[in-house]
Amino acid sequence: MKQQLRNFVFQELIFVADPNSFSDDEDLINAGLDSMGIMRLIMFIESQFGVTLPDVEIDPDNIGSFNALERWIVSHQA
């Protein structure tokens, strides 16, 4: 799951010189993930992992890092 998220984010949403050196706890927003990117990421997650992520839960605690994203997704999987 996390590798799929990393691939999508680094191929489609933000540029980092060396994605392999970007840790799973680093801040995605500080790295350049903007509001449009967040919406694209959520649409990707919902289609890829078959979950519905409530809009009211979109906050840095849930989207701030790859680890946070993974926890958020898992919390909504059946």
Domain ranges of the chain: 26-78
Q: What is the mean pLDDT of residues 3-16?
A: 96
Long-range contact set of residues 11-18: C-beta below 8 Å, sequence gap at least 24: 12/40, 12/44, 13/37, 13/40, 13/41
Checking if the pLDDT of 71 tops 90, the result is yes
Which pLDDT tens digit goes with each residue over 18-45?
999 999 999 999 999 999 999 999 999 9
pLDDT computed for residue 49 by the predictor: 96
Q: Tell me which fold the domain 26-78 belongs to.
A: 1.10.1200
**What is the secondary structure of 12-37 as a DSSP string?**
II---S-GGGS-TTS-TTTTT--HHH
The pLDDT of residue 23? 96
